[in-house]
Amino acid sequence: MGFNCGIVGLPNVGKSTLFNALTNSAKAAAANFPFCTIEPNVGIVEVPDERLQKIAEIVKPKRIVPTTIEFVDIAGLVKGASKGEGLGNQFLGNIRSVDAIAHVVRCFEDPNVVHVDGSVNPVRDIETINMELIFKDLETVEKRLQKVAKQAKSGDKAARKEAEILENLKEILERGERIHPYFEEASEDFKKLVKELGLLTAKPVLYIANVDEEGLLEDNEFVKQVKELAEKEKAPVVKICAKIESELSELEPEEKEEFLKELGLKEPGLNSVIREGYRLLDLITFFTAGEQEVRAWTIKKGTKAPQAAGKIHSDIERGFIRAEVVSYEDLIREGSMQKCKEKGLIRLEGKDYEVKDGDIIYFRFNV
């Protein structure tokens, strides 16, 4: 699978409660005091996708296998973490290893739940974490710049070009801005250097507004503030009540459905978190379908057919001949693979074919 999303936030904002609910386990300790999480907990979570069940209703396989995404519950961060405060260096090192960040923000008042800064203020909380990531990135960029500047002065063209990019990165960070909003439109050299440096603020962010039960029904002032800030960053926001999600995760399917009805919800909020995390990483799903199993597979958008085949087995990628492809919409409309075949809806695609979200593929190969 190899795609993961790190759950971050200030201490005691509901990260571990959310993680437990996501993974439906007691793997992450949850308690009402800071730094409850020290070592990062890792959980594999199934990606909810109704298409999988609908394909299975047509194909009637022996088993159904959903695709997954990995969530990592990372230790809480405090002001000064970039200088080693709290569990700072460990926290920042753990963030460096994830593909995207799910930033949990407290958006509820409760005198019984301690806030590390003494009051609830989501914008301040977000800025605290963002600034620590920015400070750490600035430190990384400045160290590299010192090294490259000497080479640039000696007339090294490659070093001069790198120094220009580093100066640009430094300017962005000194303005108190994250790198990620600039990443998409940047040059390939810029992107390559950012990845090489492993900059923390270059990672895409999903904000998770953790509310109380009342906040689920209508956006409170805290949620509105988070949405306003996220809009400027072009980042998605998902609103959940971690406490309710934790209770839901412990119920049987029928009980869960009844509880959701009572709350006026169609599905658990966690489904939105998982889907948004999936989208945030620019991932898509393709399917394989046969008598033995119907399975969903995760790939990056833009992946070519042979590399998609490699997700199943390296031999299939190595011996790739062609892909027999039918779209999900065509299969559902026609109701069977046979009808799709009769109508010429199953296409033969070669090595340059970019797999699309929802493609149902049979790979031909010879090793």
Domain covering 4-280: architecture = 3-Layer(aba) Sandwich (3.40)
The answer to whether 17 is annotated as binding is yes
Residues 324-344: pLDDT tens digits? 999 999 999 999 999 999 999
Query: In this structure, what token pair is assigned to residue 10?
Result: 């200030």
Nearest C-alpha neighbor of 359 from the set 279, 271, 298? 298
Provide the β-strand partners of residue 289: 294
Q: What is the pLDDT of residue 166?
A: 94
Q: Is 92 exposed, middle or buried (0-12, 13-18, 19+ CB in 10 A)?
A: buried
Residues 93-140: pLDDT tens digits? 778 888 889 999 999 888 777 666 678 899 999 998 888 889 889 999
Superfamily of 302-365 according to CATH: Beta-grasp domain (3.10.20.30)
Evaluate whether 4-280 and 302-365 have a shared fold.
no
d(Cα 69, Cα 298) in Å, to the nearest integer?
8
Q: What is the pLDDT of residue 305?
A: 97
Measured CA distances, 14 to 103, 106, 118, 256, 295 (Å): 11, 7, 16, 21, 33
d(Cα 327, Cα 306) in Å, to the nearest integer?
18
End-to-end C-alpha distance for the chain, whole angstroms: 24
The answer to whether 15 is annotated as binding is yes
In the chain, where are the structural domains located?
4-280, 302-365
The answer to whether 16 is annotated as binding is yes
Residue 213 has pLDDT above 90, yes or no: no
Going by their DSSP bridges, the two strands 320-327 and 293-300 should be labelled as unpaired
d(Cα 30, Cα 13) in Å, to the nearest integer?
10
Residue 238 has pLDDT above 50, yes or no: yes
d(Cα 319, Cα 342) in Å, to the nearest integer?
28
Provide the β-strand partners of residue 12: none
The answer to whether 8 is annotated as binding is no
Query: In this structure, what token pair is assigned to residue 89?
Result: 């260096």
Q: What is the pLDDT of residue 193?
A: 93
Pick the most confident of 216-225, 269-278, 318-327.
318-327
